[in-house]
Amino acid sequence: MPRIVRLLSYTAVAGVASYSIHRQLIHLEEKYPAFPPSAGSKALRTPSPTTHCPYVDIYAAQIPLSALHARVPSNKQPTKTELENAWARSVFGSRILRAEGLLIGLCTKLSLSPSYTGDADGFSPDESGKPRVLLNGGLRVQRVPGADEDSNGLLVSMRLPDGPRLFFEAIARWGYPWRLMTCVRHEMSVSEPYEMKGEKFVQVGFASAHDYEVVETEGALDQQKLLPAWVSRLHRGYARYVLDSTVEEVIRELERA
């Protein structure tokens, strides 16, 4: 095949793939508009002392209370904390996050298992009293549901390796326009039940927050370098997709029951 034909073929494939991703992102953005940061807990919005949190992305969906109740290991009326645990187990037990855990395990441990997803003993500390580690070390429990008055469901965090972050901080000092974040937090929330047309529903949420190191030479916080806008959009699209796919699995299981 002539080189120019191969080049045109690769360009066409890349163009089709990019357009498909763009259309899917638009669909998810229309389906799950962003909520204000105040909809999340204070812990979700609060970065560590040396970092800042320039954005918090919160998305939510409405599902029947019965769909979540079916995932509570008890026949009695579930408490809000039990519903929050059920939703968090649903998220980490979803196909998309199990696949992510499997990929992390394959890359770090040569293991074909998503590792712990909260389905056995929940998200309380492990036998040694340390915070639970999920998805082969991909995420660590920062706050369990019902832990305090600020609690808004399960809060987990992931600290990115220092090596890549420091590399991008170094080239950013020489003019590169973007940097990597230091930490990512996710919060899985459940609202109080409410009634519509004779049926009870809850609003389930999935939120993300990114922390970046504060670099004094870059100036004020609104001038600090971040990820490129298109990468941030992909991150938000992925968060919306996690919510969307988990809701579909929960609803599908209710319909099969």
Give 82-120 pLDDT, tens digit per residue: 999 999 999 999 999 988 888 887 777 767 677 777 887
- Measured CA to CA, the distance from residue 169 to residue 175 in angstroms comes to 10
Phi, then psi, of 174 in degrees rounded to 5: -100, 10
Following DSSP, what letter does each residue of 89-117 receive, concatenated?
HHHHTSHHHHHHHHHHHHHHH---S----
CA-to-CA dists, residue 15 to 20, 21, 23, 236, 246, angstroms: 9, 10, 12, 21, 29
Give 201-250 pLDDT, tens digit per residue: 999 999 999 999 999 999 999 999 999 999 999 999 999 999 999 999 99
Q: What is the pLDDT of residue 228?
A: 96
Length of the chain: 257
b/e for 60-92, b at 16 or more Cβ within 10 A?
Answer: bbebbbebbbebbeeeeebebebbbbbbbbbbb
Phi, then psi, of 236 in degrees rounded to 5: -65, -40
Give 132-181 pLDDT, tens digit per residue: 888 888 899 999 998 888 888 999 999 999 999 999 999 999 999 999 99
Give 20-66 pLDDT, tens digit per residue: 676 888 999 999 999 999 999 999 999 988 999 999 999 999 999 99
pTM of the model: 0.90
Q: What is the pLDDT of residue 106?
A: 79
Q: At what angle do helices 3-31 and 229-256 cross, to 10 degrees?
A: 60
Amino acid at 68: L
Following DSSP, what letter does each residue of 59-90 receive, concatenated?
EEEEEEHHHHHTTSS-SSPPPHHHHHHHHHHH
